[in-house]
């Protein structure tokens, strides 16, 4: 199991909540290179950054889900189906993530490029540290059936 951070807009996040789309992008080499390694069971943190985002969510991790499929191509678009997308209780602002004392090289690299990629891999330890910024987030996710075996 791998862990990914998806950079998205509030609009796209709401479409995922409504189960209208999963991870998606144009069928370009750039997007394929980012999505090709996602497999069923991988964890996805959803990060909102784009303009037009309400101040409530801007530059924050606001949800978590799991991949249900590998990448598929349909009508010149790439897609990965995701399972139940759960909004975490307290959005985690990027500045809080940058303040973490311990970060793996994967998370450090992602932070360095300011999330210019649609999807980036982080370590399971990073996931745990990010969620523990607000203990209620970690407790919430650890108690979800979908994530029962992630932190063991």
DSSP string, 27-85: S-HHHHHHHTT--TT-EEEEEE-STT--TTTTTEEEEEEEB-S--EEETTEEEE-B---
Rounded Cα distance, 125 and 28, in Å: 31
The CATH superfamily label for domain 3-147 reads ph1033 like domains (3.10.590.10)
User: Which pTM does this prediction carry?
Assistant: 0.89
**What pLDDT is stored for residue 143 in this prediction?**
95
Q: 96-102 long-range contacts, Cβ below 8 Å, gap at least 24?
A: 96/133, 97/61, 97/130, 97/133, 100/129, 100/130, 100/133, 102/129
| Side-chain-facing half-sphere of 25: CA atoms under 13 Å | 19
Where do the structural domains in the chain lie, given as residue ranges?
Answer: 3-147
Whether residue 64 contacts residue 44, with contact meaning beta carbons closer than 8 Å, is answered with yes
Instruction: Categorize the per-residue pLDDT at 152 as very low, low, confident or very high, splitting at 50, 70 and 90.
Output: confident
Q: Is the pLDDT of residue 147 over 70?
A: yes
User: What is the CA 108 to chain-centroid distance, rounded?
Assistant: 16
Residue for token pair 């987030």: 137
Residue for token pair 């970690």: 138
**What pLDDT is stored for residue 57 in this prediction?**
57
Whether residue 23 contacts residue 7, with contact meaning beta carbons closer than 8 Å, is answered with no
Percent of the chain with pLDDT over 70: 91
Selected residue with higher pLDDT from 137 and 114: 137
For 87-101, give one letter per residue: b (16+ CB within 10 A) or e.
ebeebbebeebeeee
Residue for token pair 């979908």: 146
**What pLDDT is stored for residue 4 in this prediction?**
95
pLDDT digits (tens, 9 = 90+) for 18-68: 888 899 888 999 889 889 999 999 999 999 875 555 555 568 899 999 999
């Amino acid at each position: 199991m791998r862990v990914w951070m998806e950079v998205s807009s509030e609009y796209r996040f709401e479409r995922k909540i409504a189960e209208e789309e999963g991870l998606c992008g144009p069928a370009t080499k750039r997007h394929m290179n980012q999505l090709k390694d996602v497999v069923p069971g991988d964890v996805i943190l959803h990060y909102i950054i784009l303009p037009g985002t309400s101040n409530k969510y801007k530059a924050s991790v606001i949800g978590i889900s799991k991949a249900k499929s590998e990448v598929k191509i349909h009508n010149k678009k790439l897609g990965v189906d995701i399972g139940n997308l759960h909004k975490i209780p307290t959005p985690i602002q990027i500045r809080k993530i940058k303040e973490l004392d311990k970060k793996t090289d994967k998370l450090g690299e992602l932070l360095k490029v300011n999330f210019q990629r649609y999807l980036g891999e982080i370590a399971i330890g990073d996931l745990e540290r990010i969620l523990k910024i607000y203990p209620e987030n970690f407790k919430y996710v650890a108690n979800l059936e979908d994530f029962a075996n992630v932190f063991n």
